[in-house]
């Protein structure tokens, strides 16, 4: 068999995607456990994942853009801001399965193996989106801690801080929800070559280490925010105690005024 090159293109959006709703706009689409598969003649496909990632397989750029326009038309809320990633797979019966020079080489490329590549790319692209999001949270948290270091206190108004904490908690929940898919797909248990493809791609995209870094940064953000919130609460308690003391003093003065007047 002559060597054949397969092209994958992944895009990650900010929003989650309701697969069942989207399936109605694509006749012939097949809904799976985590993705919506849309076959494209003659040999292409689109994989859409509920965590906001879309991966195309062997689609020319013009066709890819046309299909993405259909997806956007079906889901108007999709933002224009997105993260994209490309990957190449080379198929040749003379090859041994493995990654050479950053490119996956396989002896034969079945739809099941294509789905493994698509899933791994979707995870990698989604992770890149969350990496940018967490980096922003990390920087903003650093600014709060720096203010605490310089001034020894935080702003009295804690509402923005509460909103920031809510944003950080939501982000951590989304990261855990999306990346639990790092668990090995069931299909890899049935095909030793698929298992190797999956493990090689995980290592190629550095998914494990990137996930560990995300988790570490999110824990650091959470711990720092808990510290800052504690300082803010202590400050408000001190002010409350001072206010109570002032009220007691005023009441005492008011009660003594008639005695002094006599």
Identify whether 116 is part of a domain: no
Identify whether 252 is part of a domain: no
Question: How many domains does one find in the chain?
Answer: 2
CB atoms within 10 A of CB 84: 11
Identify whether 202 is part of a domain: yes
Q: Does residue 155 sit in the same domain as residue 105? A: no
Q: Does residue 91 sit in the same domain as residue 135? A: no
Confidence class for position 234, pLDDT limits 50, 70, 90: low
Identify whether 237 is part of a domain: no
CB atoms within 10 A of CB 218: 20
Alpha carbons 172 and 79: distance in angstroms, whole number: 21
Give this prediction's pTM: 0.78
Identify whether 9 is part of a domain: yes
Could you tell me the two tokens for 201? 């791609």
CB atoms within 10 A of CB 145: 15
Confidence class for position 93, pLDDT limits 50, 70, 90: confident
Confidence class for position 198, pLDDT limits 50, 70, 90: confident
Alpha carbons 174 and 30: distance in angstroms, whole number: 25
**Lowest-pLDDT choice from 4-8, 98-102, 183-187:** 183-187
Residue appearing with tokens 């109570």:
244
Identify whether 50 is part of a domain: yes
N-to-C CA span, the chain: 114
Q: Report whether pLDDT(126) > 70.
A: yes
Which one is predicted more confidently, 48 or 43?
Answer: 48
Identify whether 250 is part of a domain: no
Identify whether 167 is part of a domain: yes
What pLDDT is attached to residue 261? 67
Confidence class for position 187, pLDDT limits 50, 70, 90: low
Cis amide prior to 181 (ω within 30 degrees): no
CATH of the domain at 91: 3.30.310.10
- The torsion angle over the Cα atoms of residues 176, 179, 180 and 184, rounded to 10 degrees, is -170
The residue range of the domain holding 146 is 124-232
- Tell me the pLDDT of the chain averaged across its residues: 82
């Amino acid at each position: 068999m002559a060597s054949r090159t397969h092209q994958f293109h992944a895009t990650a959006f900010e929003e989650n995607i309701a697969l069942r709703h989207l399936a109605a706009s694509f006749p012939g689409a097949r809904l799976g456990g985590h993705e919506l598969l849309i076959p494209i003649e003659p040999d292409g496909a689109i994989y859409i994942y509920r965590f906001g990632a879309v991966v195309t397989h062997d689609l020319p750029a013009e066709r890819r853009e046309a299909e993405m326009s259909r997806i956007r038309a079906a889901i108007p809320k999709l933002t224009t801001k997105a993260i994209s990633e490309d990957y190449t797979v080379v198929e040749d019966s003379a090859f041994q399965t493995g990654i050479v020079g950053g490119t996956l080489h396989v002896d034969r490329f079945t739809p099941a193996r294509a789905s493994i590549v698509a899933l791994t790319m979707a995870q990698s692209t989604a992770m890149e989106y969350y990496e940018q999001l967490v980096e922003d949270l990390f920087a903003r948290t650093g600014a709060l801690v720096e203010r605490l270091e310089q001034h020894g206190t935080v702003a009295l108004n804690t509402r923005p801080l509460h909103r920031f904490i809510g944003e950080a908690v939501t982000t951590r929940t989304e990261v855990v929800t999306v990346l639990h898919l790092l668990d090995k797909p069931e299909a890899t248990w049935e095909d030793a070559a698929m298992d190797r493809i999956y493990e090689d791609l995980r290592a190629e995209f550095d998914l494990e280490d990137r996930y560990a870094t995300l988790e570490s940064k999110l824990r650091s953000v959470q711990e720092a925010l808990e510290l800052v919130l504690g300082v803010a609460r202590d400050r408000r308690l001190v002010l409350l105690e001072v206010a109570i003391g002032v009220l007691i003093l005023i009441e005492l003065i008011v009660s003594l005024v008639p005695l002094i007047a006599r």
